[in-house]
Amino acid sequence: MRIASVRRALRRLRPRRARPTEQVELLICLAVMVAGTGWSIADDNRQIKVASVMIVVIVVASLVLSLRSMIVLSAAVVLCLAAVFSIHGLNQSQLSVSGFVMISIVLAVALAQSGRRDRLGLRQVSAEKVISLIRDRLSVQSQLPEIDPTWAVEVQQRPADGAAIAGDFVSNRLVLENGAQVLHLAVIDVSGSGIAAGPRALLLSGAVGGLLGSVPPDDFLNAANDYLTRQRWSLGFASAIYLRLELATGSYEIRVAGHPPAIHFRPGEAPPWRTSPAVGTVLGVLPTLNGTADINVVRPGEALFLYTDGVVEDRTRDIDAGTLRLKDAVELLAARDCWQGMARQLIDQVPTKHDDDRTIVMIRRNVPVSASPDSAGCERELGEPDSAVGATEAATSAVPPRSTEDRAGTHGSFSSG
């Protein structure tokens, strides 16, 4: 306790690096501009150009000053230009017509930028910083807890067109129910993509994170739908898939709201795939939500895959063709024993276009302890054959679309009204 008290006292005594006040920043910009202008005039523009000095100062000032201070700086720019013009006029050695035009354009853009930042309340923080904070907050939601080592869970996300944030997010929570660990996990796809959908995804992620594990499974999607309906967003709908998984037994429940179905990979059975029959209406459209739940079991060596439509669907192919491509890729990587990092491989190589947000969650039970797989083979492109799996790939490419009928699960229902 004494050590902690001493540390707190030292932190209070430590000088803080305060950000310079706006008045100081304005004075620095004015001083640099006046000094640069005077140097340019005295040296007859041989070593330093007056237009270059003003453009650099205006650009830097637009990043830190408010609109009011930028107006003061603009008045100083006019005075400096008037001084140069009165001494030398418009000539190529001091201030040319093109230089005057460039300064005017940069100044107008800087004023507009400062005004927009003031309206958004971003005077002390950049828009890039705000986007970074949203991205970090969404990534916290998808961080996985420490779970039983007999399970492996991987989450991979990619925003549309390389944007900083996305409309997809993953939220999870590990809770104890009757002394057993239960994983609650939801994959949400907000309408839109990229930066346009990011703020709405952030708002919804807070509500989803609070609901996971706190309400009964049958009520989770209903509560999320109620929240989204109350927001009255112009693009206020979202798709969702919700998984409740008992880690001790492998028993799971899946509920869907207008989302692509989960797929269950069972390498020991024929056919090896089971498509979840869970269905439900999309979130945020109707005041009441109806759907059918899917109840089944993940046995040792099997895996569940949850994903968003950006992985399997685009403008050039339907969702069935994309899902088949995803299944083929899983079989190929499984044949190479490339389970570690599989989600990353899938999200990078399965989608044919990157104009939509993409998310994949892989949940596998009982990862066998074996020799490490060949890293070169695992990193090989999915369409590139090798000697170990060439026959498997050839057979897979000739397989017609698979039937979704197989080991029967239990169907439940959920509704609100």
- Give the count of domains, the chain: 2
Same domain, 76 and 139: no
Band of pLDDT at residue 252, cut at 50, 70 and 90: very high
Whole-prediction pTM: 0.70
Whether the predicted pLDDT of 2 surpasses 80: no
Rounded Cα distance between 375 and 372, Å, is: 8
Same domain, 48 and 146: no
Residue 358 lies in a domain: yes
Residue 7 lies in a domain: no
361, 155 Cβ separation under 8 angstroms: yes
Residue 11 lies in a domain: no
Looking at residue 392, its pLDDT comes to: 35
Range 95-109 average pLDDT: 84
Same domain, 48 and 185: no
Same domain, 326 and 252: yes
Rounded Cα distance between 400 and 394, Å, is: 13
Q: Rank 33-42, 113-122, 332-341, 398-407 by mean pLDDT and report only the highest.
A: 332-341
The per-residue pLDDT for range 257-271, each reduced to its tens digit, is 999 999 999 998 888
Residue 5 lies in a domain: no
Cis peptide before 400 (omega within 30 of 0): no
Same domain, 113 and 246: no
Residue 170 lies in a domain: yes
Q: What CATH number is associated with residue 225?
A: 3.60.40.10
Same domain, 74 and 222: no
Rounded Cα distance between 417 and 311, Å, is: 33
Give the residue from 91, 119, 147 where a domain finishes: 119
Looking at residue 124, its pLDDT comes to: 56
Give the residue from 96, 119, 142 where a domain finishes: 119
The per-residue pLDDT for range 19-29, each reduced to its tens digit, is 568 788 889 98
Range 82-90 average pLDDT: 74
Residue 29 lies in a domain: yes
Same domain, 159 and 81: no
* Domain, as residue range, for 62: 17-119
- From residue 230, how far is each of 22, 180, 256, 259, 288 by CA, in Å? 41, 35, 20, 21, 12
Give the residue from 71, 88, 119 where a domain finishes: 119
Same domain, 91 and 142: no
Q: Which of 35-39, 122-126, 297-301, 376-380 has the lowest mean pLDDT?
A: 122-126
Same domain, 108 and 204: no
Tokens matching residue 254: 């899946």
Same domain, 115 and 244: no
Same domain, 155 and 85: no
Residue 92 lies in a domain: yes
Band of pLDDT at residue 332, cut at 50, 70 and 90: very high
Of residues 402 and 181, which shows the higher confidence score?
181
Looking at residue 152, its pLDDT comes to: 92
Average pLDDT, the chain: 79
Residue 1 lies in a domain: no
Same domain, 168 and 33: no
Q: Which of 158-162, 181-185, 356-360, 399-403 has the lowest mean pLDDT?
A: 399-403
Band of pLDDT at residue 154, cut at 50, 70 and 90: very high
Looking at residue 47, its pLDDT comes to: 62
